[in-house]
Structure 1
Amino acid sequence: MDQAAQTMIDNLEKNTGKSLAQWVAIVQKEDFKKHGEILKFLKTEHAFTHGFANLVAHKALKSDAGSVSDTDELTIKQYKGKEHFLPIFDKLSKEIKAFGTDIAFAPKNAYVSIKRKKQFAMLIPATKTRYEIGINLKGHPPEGVLEIDTKTNGMCSHKIHLKDEKDVSSEVITWIKKAYETAG
C-alpha cells in the first residue's frame, strides 16, 4: 500500500472515530451493490467528503488495486465488450510511463487511476463508443481537445474524449504531461 493511501486510512479513523474496517462493515450491512450508492450514503448520512467516501466504497466492493490479488483482472474487466479500446489504453500507458519513473497505475473497476504524488489522470473506457481521459489541471480553461469535466465529482477537473487509437495525438499527450508535471 502506498503512503498516500495509508495516510488517508489513518485520517479516516482520526476524523470519524471509526476505522476503515468498521466503515466497510457499516456499508456492507446496508447491502449496497453499486459504488454510487455507497458514495451517496456516506456523503448524505455521514457527511463524508468525496475522497473518504470513495476510499470506503472501493474497499467495501473490493474494486480497487489494493483489494485484489491480480490488478490485471480489473483492467480486463473494464475492457470486456470494449476490447477495441485496448490499443488506446496500451498506447496511452506507454506514453505516460515515459514521463518518469514515479508513476503508479492503480486500476479500479471502471477506470485506471494514474498517480504521481497525487492522481493526475484517469483512463476510462466509458461506453462502447467513447473513451475518456480524465485529467487534473484545476483552474486551467478548456482549450483544444481539453473540456471541463462536470461528471467525476471532482476526481478530475478536465476530460478528453477519444474514439480511436489515432485520436491519441501529441496534443492529448501534452495535456496529460502537463497534469503529470503539476502532480509532482
Structure 2
Amino acid sequence: MADEFEKMGENLRAKTGKGLDEWVATARATGIAGHMALVNHLKSEHGLGHGYANMIVHAANASSSLSQDDEALVEAAFDGAKAHWRPLYDRLTLLVQGFGDDVELAPKKGYVSLRRKKQFALLMPSTKDRFDIGLALKGEEPAGKLELAGSWNAMVSHRVRIAAGEDAEGDVADWLRAAYDRAG
C-alpha cells in the first residue's frame, strides 16, 4: 500500500508540477479546519481530483493510515477489549493466504482489507462482542449468516457477523474463497 501511496505522490508531481510536501504546505496555509471543506477547496481552487485532494488533506492532518506501520495498525485494531478476536483474525488470514500468493493484507484503522487485484474482503473486530467479515460477493443471495452489507460498508456487498463465543467455520471459508476468486 505504501508503494501505491508513493506512486500517487509521483503522479501528483507529474500532473501538477508540485510534490506532496508542497501541496501539504499549501493546504495547511489555508487555515481550513474541516477535512471535506479542505478537500473541496483544493478541488475548486486548484483543479485537483478528489483522490489527490483527499491524499493531500490526510497528509496535512497526519491522519493517513498509509503513513503508519502495518503491524501497528493491526495491533491497534485488536487492542484492549477486542484482543480476544486476534486468534480468529490470524486463522482467517492464514486461510486466505492459502488461496494464492497474490493475497495482500492491507491494514487500515480498525480493520484489515484483503486484496487481490481489488479488495475482496475485510476483517474487522467491530466491538468486543462482534467480529465482522465483509465480502465482495455482488449478486449473491443472502444465506444463513451471509447478509447484505447495506450501509455498513460501501466497499463490500455482504457481511458475516460473528458473535463472541462463536467461531467462523463452515460457510465462511467458502464465501471468502468465492470473493477471492471473483477478484482475480
Structure 1 residues 67 and 142: CA distance shift in structure 2, 3 A: same
Q: TM-score, normalised by structure 1?
A: 0.73
Q: TM-score, normalised by structure 2?
A: 0.73
Structure 1 residues 87 and 19: CA distance shift in structure 2, 3 A: same
Look up the SS of the partner of 2:126 in the other structure.
coil
1:73 aligns with 2:72: yes
Find the counterpart in structure 1 of residue 152 from structure 2. 151
Structure 1 residues 79 and 100: CA distance shift in structure 2, 3 A: same
Pairs within 5 Å for 1:114-153: 114-149=114-149, 150-152=151-153
Q: Which runs of 5+ in 1 are unaligned?
A: none
Structure 1 residues 95 and 53: CA distance shift in structure 2, 3 A: farther
Structure 1 residues 156 and 13: CA distance shift in structure 2, 3 A: farther
Structure 1 residues 174 and 79: CA distance shift in structure 2, 3 A: same
1:103 positional shift = 0.7
Structure 1 residues 73 and 43: CA distance shift in structure 2, 3 A: same
1:143 positional shift = 2.4
1:16 positional shift = 8.7
Letter in 1 for 2:128: K
Count of residues in correspondence between the two structures: 175
Q: Which runs of 5+ in 2 are unaligned?
A: none
- Same amino acid, percent of matched pairs: 37
Are the aligned partners of 1:132 and 1:162 in contact in 2 as well (CA < 8 Å)?
A: yes
Say which one has the larger Rg. 2
Pairs within 5 Å for 1:6-155: 20-21=20-21, 24-25=24-25, 26=27, 38=35, 40-41=36-37, 46=43, 55=55, 59=59, 60-64=61-65, 66-68=66-68, 70-81=69-80, 82-149=82-149, 150-152=151-153, 154-155=154-155
Are the aligned partners of 2:128 and 2:164 in contact in 1 as well (CA < 8 Å)?
A: no
Instruction: Output the CA distance in 1 between the equivalents of 2:96 and 2:155.
Output: 19
1:148 positional shift = 1.6
Larger strand percent:
2
Instruction: Output the CA distance in 1 between the equivalents of 2:129 and 2:29.
Output: 33
1:43 positional shift = 6.8
Letter in 2 for 1:162: I
Structure 1 residues 19 and 80: CA distance shift in structure 2, 3 A: same
Find the counterpart in structure 2 of residue 172 from structure 1. 172
Find the counterpart in structure 1 of residue 163 from structure 2. 163
Instruction: Output the CA distance in 2 between the equivalents of 1:105 and 1:122.
Output: 9
Look up the SS of the partner of 2:127 in the other structure.
coil
